[in-house]
Amino acid sequence: MMEPILKIENIDKYYGNKSHLTKALSHLSLNVYQGEFVAIMGASGSGKTTLLNCISTIDKVTAGHIFVGDTDITTLKGNRLNRFRREKLGFIFQDFNLLDTLTAYENIALALSIQKVPYQQIDQRVHAMAQALNINDVLDKFPYQMSGGQKQRVAAARALISDPQMILADEPTGALDSHSSQMLLASLKQLNDKLQTTILMVTHDALSASYASRVVFIKDGQIFHEIYRGHQERKIFFEKIIDVVTMLGGK
């Protein structure tokens, strides 16, 4: 059995102060292996985004440990933390978070410039990535000139370009129409298969989740259930997801 790329060990996350304590995550453990595409589902307030924020080092856990490879990311600080974010992680957000002063090309290239990659390589890699995500035509456009779907694919390109170990996506299809969503997810799935990049995606949409290879359901800060796609048809997998969602919602 191979070592998990992401090992979450018994983490807790509390919010608030002495009088108001909210338990967002409690005793949660999860292992993710290289090349997996994991969707995290759950109702609003179930702690799914908190979980992603903790993994992505945006937020800090109250207790427990998260290992990426051999590194315990809960203890990372300063430049080692920046380096970790820069080299190991790629982010995709619901609202794209592109820099509106830069063109699509520059937005994608920035991720590499921060890593001080030489320009010739940047150019080559940006074009290759644009090809894969079908955004060649919009490279010279500014974010405000693009559609939501294009923006999200640019954001995906930015996240993938530095060849990270993990892509962390927070409701990537939340602001997209169903066509754009499917295009994006298909591209992500394809890159996941090809590059063996691990993807962690938070979503509340069963259709989006059906592109994943595994779906983890969270309820009240704990893992409630998980299902693997295996070799099933996506449509069948989708129906299975719907069943669990119904069960979750119906209590």
Partner 1 sequence: MFFKLSFRNMQRSFKDYTIYFLTLVLGVAIFYMFNSIESQTVMMDISSSTREIIKLMTNVLAGVSVFVSLILAFLIIYASRFLMKRRHKEFAIYMTLGMSKQQISSLLLCETFFIGVMSLVIGLAIGIALSQLMSIFVAGMFEVDMTSFEFIFSYSAMMKTILYFAIIYVVVMFFNVFFIGKQSLIDLFMSQRKNEQIKIKNLWLCSFIFVVAVGMLAYAYYLVTAGVATLDNANKIWIPIALGIVSTFMIFYSLSGFALKIMMSKKSMYYKNLNAFTMRQLSSQMNTTVFSMGMICLMLFMTICVLSSGISIKNSMSTELKEMTPVDIYMYKYWDLSHQKDNKKTYTQQEIDDSHIRIDQSLEAVDFSIDDYFKDVFIFNDYATNDLTMKDTLGKAYDDIHQQYPYLKLDTAESIMKISDYNQIAKRYGLETYTLNSDQYLIVGNF
Residue 144 or 231 having the CB closest to partner 1: 144
Residue 60 or 225 having the CB closest to partner 1: 60
The residues of the shown chain that bind partner 1, judged by CB under 8 A, are: 53, 56-60, 78-79, 82-87, 89, 91, 97, 99-102, 106, 109-111, 113-115, 158
Residue type, position 31, single letter:
N
Residue 86 or 214 having the CB closest to partner 1: 86
Cβ at position 18, least distance to partner 1 in Å: 20
Cβ at position 228, least distance to partner 1 in Å: 30
The answer to whether the beta carbons of residues 37 and 8 sit under 8 Å apart is no
Rounded Cα gap, residues 5 and 105, in angstroms = 30
According to DSSP H, which parts of 35-168 are helical?
48-55, 78-88, 104-114, 119-133, 148-161
Residue 102 or 195 having the CB closest to partner 1: 102
- Matching residue, tokens 């010279």: 140
Rounded Cα gap, residues 92 and 235, in angstroms = 25
Cβ at position 79, least distance to partner 1 in Å: 6
Cβ at position 225, least distance to partner 1 in Å: 28
Rounded Cα gap, residues 154 and 223, in angstroms = 32
Cβ at position 248, least distance to partner 1 in Å: 26
The answer to whether the Cα torsion of 183, 98, 195, 166 is positive or negative is negative
Two tokens, residue 44: 């609003």
Cβ at position 131, least distance to partner 1 in Å: 22
Residue 144 or 235 having the CB closest to partner 1: 144
Residue 14 or 224 having the CB closest to partner 1: 14
Residue 109 or 216 having the CB closest to partner 1: 109
The answer to whether the beta carbons of residues 239 and 70 sit under 8 Å apart is no
Helix, strand, coil percentages (3-state) for the chain, rounded to 5, are 45, 25, 30
Cβ at position 38, least distance to partner 1 in Å: 20
Rounded Cα gap, residues 17 and 19, in angstroms = 6
Residue from 103, 108, 106, 95 nearest 161 by CA: 108
